[in-house]
Amino acid sequence: MNKEVLFMSNGHGEDLNASLILQELRKIAPQIMITGMPLVGEGNAYRSLNLPLIGQPKSLPSGGIFYMNPLTLLKDVGAGLIGLTFYQIRTLLKYCSRYHLIVAVGDIFPVTMAYVSGRPFVAFLVSTSSYYEGKLQLPWLTRWCLRSPRCLAIFTRDAFTSQDLQRQGFKKASFLGYPIMDILTPTGKNLDLDHHIPTIALLPGSRLPEALDNLALLLQVCESLATLETLQFRVALVQAIQEKDLKRLAQTLGWQYQSFGILIKHQEKNTVRVECYHQAFSDIINYCSLAIGMAGTAVEQVVGLGKPVIQLPGKGPQFTYAFAEAQMRLLGLSVKTIGKSYKNPRLFSEAATTIQAILKDEDYLRSCRQNGRERVGKPGGSLNLAHAIAQLLQNWGARIRT
């Protein structure tokens, strides 16, 4: 009888990692039937694969990151978080008997859900790392679930975390790679670049309307940078940001909007030109010299490529100073955050002078390349994890009963 596997995840980055693993699993073991259960958000990474889904995907105000601001938890509760959670538990218990294995991608929520199902499961702790505090402090409930004999493996997002968990007695912990590094091959999109001029990537994030607020801040850094250096700017846009959004933003900031994606600002001594692209993220971050990022997963990918990142504290709800500071601890020396508030009157000039210095610091740029390999890792994680999951299904076949 064919095996069935359920992938559960709780957020945009978690869904992406899960989708990359299951795509490789489909290739190496096409006989395995795979279902998805996005616990937070719409589950677009699953939907793009036409994967069967259970549950009721729904977006909440926090996007699953209410731990950065408790007030957003109250907004989530008001938007139906409690009812949604009970519905998800009922749905899981209704269908779980059919799955031979559950793959929980994220943090305490999917791991606990996998445990509650009563089925064998593996945990990919993609949402946490020992780099944050030096030692991973897992919630007691997560530790309880991971010590269950039904937890067949614990996968981590970096080698440091797996070594830490091993020291804490979790002998099933291992690092097999970080799937987000497997989707960064340039597509060959024409970005109209002058290869004699440094390229700055602008990464405003994926959630609206926050991404547009972030882009407004990034454009003001470009204004300051243009007074110091000759640079070219390329923005990686998510599909949700449309032409009307860019026109409105340009008008608000005193920029001119030209043909789709081109923003112009005439200053006293120069003209700033910023070009925006859809579906060009991999191309932009591969060719850039540095990124100004106000995102989560995207910043990790840039660091993994060995590039430096400058962060600006935004209005939130995701990309606040607290998020940026945590990301510095996670990603190390490759990431610098300017100031603690988007209201800082010197924010843009300080960001510009910092970027100017970084682009001339060869020792620091060399350190970023080494740091990226250590903190994020090289490509191949999706396939490695898929092979491990397929092997677990094979080895535990006699003990996994329908």
Q: What is the CATH number of the domain that holds 118?
A: 3.40.50.2000
The C-alpha angle 27, 29, 35, rounded to 5 degrees, equals: 90
Q: Are 253 and 286 in contact (CB under 8 A)?
A: no
Return the structure tokens found at 332. Answer: 């190390």
The residue type of 282 is S
209 shares its domain with 357? yes
104 shares its domain with 130? yes
261 shares its domain with 340? yes
> pLDDT per residue over 92-121, tens digit each?
889 889 999 999 999 899 999 999 999 999
Measured between alpha carbons, how far is 275 from 234 in angstroms, rounded to an integer?
5
Domain-located, residue 67: yes
What pLDDT shows up at residue 316? 87
Residue 385, pLDDT > 80, answer yes
126 shares its domain with 224? no
Residue 397 pLDDT grade (very low, low, confident, very high; cuts 50, 70, 90): low
294 shares its domain with 325? yes
Domain-located, residue 191: no
22 shares its domain with 102? yes
The C-alpha angle 132, 134, 139, rounded to 5 degrees, equals: 70
Residue 368, pLDDT > 80, answer yes
Q: How many domains does the chain have?
A: 2
What pLDDT shows up at residue 11? 83
Q: Are 64 and 41 in contact (CB under 8 A)?
A: yes
> pLDDT per residue over 41-69, tens digit each?
778 889 899 899 998 765 555 555 544 55
> pLDDT per residue over 279-316, tens digit each?
999 999 999 999 999 999 999 999 999 999 999 999 98
The C-alpha angle 250, 258, 206, rounded to 5 degrees, equals: 55
pTM of the model: 0.89
94 shares its domain with 223? no
> pLDDT per residue over 10-24, tens digit each?
888 899 999 999 999
Dihedral sign computed on CA atoms, order 190, 193, 196, 202: negative
169 shares its domain with 216? no
> pLDDT per residue over 176-228, tens digit each?
999 999 999 999 999 999 999 999 999 999 888 999 999 999 999 999 999 99
Domain carrying residue 314: 199-375
24 shares its domain with 139? yes
Residue 326, pLDDT > 60, answer yes
Closest CA to 312 of 346, 279, 278: 346
66 shares its domain with 104? yes
Return the structure tokens found at 239. Answer: 């599909």
287 shares its domain with 330? yes
Domain-located, residue 370: yes
Domain-located, residue 161: yes
214 shares its domain with 342? yes
Q: Are 29 and 2 in contact (CB under 8 A)?
A: no
Three-state DSSP at 394 gives: helix
